[in-house]
């Protein structure tokens, strides 16, 4: 794919932003390639989890490539109501778990890409920021909405309104990332984590992700009712029966996603 590399090993896909000389900045070609990756991940029944990372040791992604992303010729209305108004982040709307291995700078759209993933691991030298306010715009791919939900309004406002960066230790303290992993082990650990998730019952994994995402926007009593409904939908699945048989027979379960 040129600026994005895509591979599948077992039930795990790995997507690698591959423009290290440009700090893996996202240009129009990269955006198209990423959208294709998300479609492949969502549409391939054999893929049960995915890892997203960046090439090189300096950056996960510095965000939009400002040299190649000047305002388009068409009006925003034409873009919004035209065919395929999807950003590289909106295409991540899949029930399959996405793990982001942040191997350096995650800035602007790069951080928004990481925020759209479900689990974030980071190398010790990783840095995080949403500097859009410094160049006369705003984070327009979820930054103003996802970041406050993850770290709280005050800490999010501090990052959003100043454009300042934070380091990996601060990101861990805020809950922006789950773990700090040595840089040389980062992708391997993310892939191992993805394999552990992929070994679980796929319908259960996808149901849990959807419940967490949708339930967070509901009052607790409504979210609990939704959880109970989904539990009922899974109750008689082949995989739930297989899980109990495997436990009784003291063997690894073989899940097929039905």
The pLDDT, as a whole number, for residue 93 is 79
In a domain, residue 44? The reply is yes
Domain check: are 177 and 50 in the same one?
Answer: yes
Give the chain's domain count: 2
The pLDDT, as a whole number, for residue 83 is 56
The one catalytic residue among 31, 74, 132, 214: 132
* CATH number, residue 239: 1.10.12
Domain check: are 219 and 192 in the same one?
Answer: no
In a domain, residue 31? The reply is yes
Domain check: are 212 and 155 in the same one?
Answer: no
pTM: 0.88
The pLDDT, as a whole number, for residue 91 is 65
Task: Give me the DSSP letters along 165-197.
Answer: -EEHHHHHHHTS-SEE--GGGHHHHHHHHHHHH
The pLDDT, as a whole number, for residue 90 is 65
Let me know if 112 is a catalytic residue: yes
Domain check: are 32 and 73 in the same one?
Answer: yes
Domain that holds residue 237: 202-249
Measured CA to CA, the distance from residue 161 to residue 153 in angstroms comes to 11
Separation in Å, CA 53 to CA 37, 58, 99, 114, 171: 13, 12, 9, 9, 17
In a domain, residue 258? The reply is no
The pLDDT, as a whole number, for residue 77 is 63
In a domain, residue 233? The reply is yes
In a domain, residue 213? The reply is yes
Measured CA to CA, the distance from residue 22 to residue 32 in angstroms comes to 17
The pLDDT, as a whole number, for residue 71 is 55
In a domain, residue 255? The reply is no
Q: Are 174 and 155 in contact (CB under 8 A)?
A: yes
The pLDDT, as a whole number, for residue 135 is 87
The one catalytic residue among 31, 74, 112, 249: 112
> pLDDT of the chain along its 258 residues, tens only?
589 999 999 999 999 999 999 999 999 999 999 999 999 999 999 999 999 999 999 999 998 876 655 555 566 666 555 555 456 676 677 899 999 999 999 999 999 999 999 999 999 999 999 999 998 999 989 999 999 999 999 999 999 999 999 999 999 999 999 999 999 999 999 999 999 999 999 999 999 999 999 998 899 999 999 999 999 999 999 999 999 999 999 999 999 989
Domain check: are 118 and 79 in the same one?
Answer: yes
Domain check: are 152 and 122 in the same one?
Answer: yes
């Amino acid at each position: 794919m040129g600026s994005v590399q895509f591979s599948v090993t077992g039930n795990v896909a790995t997507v690698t932003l591959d423009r290290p000389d440009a700090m893996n900045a996202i240009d129009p070609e990269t955006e198209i390639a990423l959208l294709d990756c998300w479609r492949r991940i969502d549409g391939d029944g054999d893929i049960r989890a995915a890892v997203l990372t960046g090439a090189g040791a300096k950056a996960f992604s510095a965000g939009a490539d400002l040299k190649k992303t000047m305002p388009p010729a068409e009006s925003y209305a034409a873009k919004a109501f035209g065919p395929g108004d999807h950003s590289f982040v909106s295409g991540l709307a899949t029930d399959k778990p996405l793990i982001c291995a942040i191997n350096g700078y995650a800035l602007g759209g790069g951080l928004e890409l990481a925020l759209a993933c479900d689990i974030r691991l980071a190398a010790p030298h990783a840095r995080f920021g949403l500097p859009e306010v410094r160049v006369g715009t705003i984070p327009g791919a979820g930054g103003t909405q996802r970041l406050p939900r993850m770290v709280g309004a005050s800490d999010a406002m501090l990052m959003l309104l100043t454009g300042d960066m934070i380091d990996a230790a601060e990101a861990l303290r805020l809950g922006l990332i789950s773990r700090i992993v040595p840089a040389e082990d980062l992708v391997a650990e993310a892939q191992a984590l993805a394999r552990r998730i992929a070994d679980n019952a796929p319908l259960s994994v996808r149901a849990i992700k959807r419940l967490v995402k949708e339930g967070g926007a509901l009052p607790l009593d409504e979210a609990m009712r939704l959880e109970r409904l989904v539990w009922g939908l899974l109750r008689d699945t082949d995989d739930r029966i297989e899980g109990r048989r495997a436990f009784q027979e003291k063997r690894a379960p073989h899940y097929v996603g039905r």
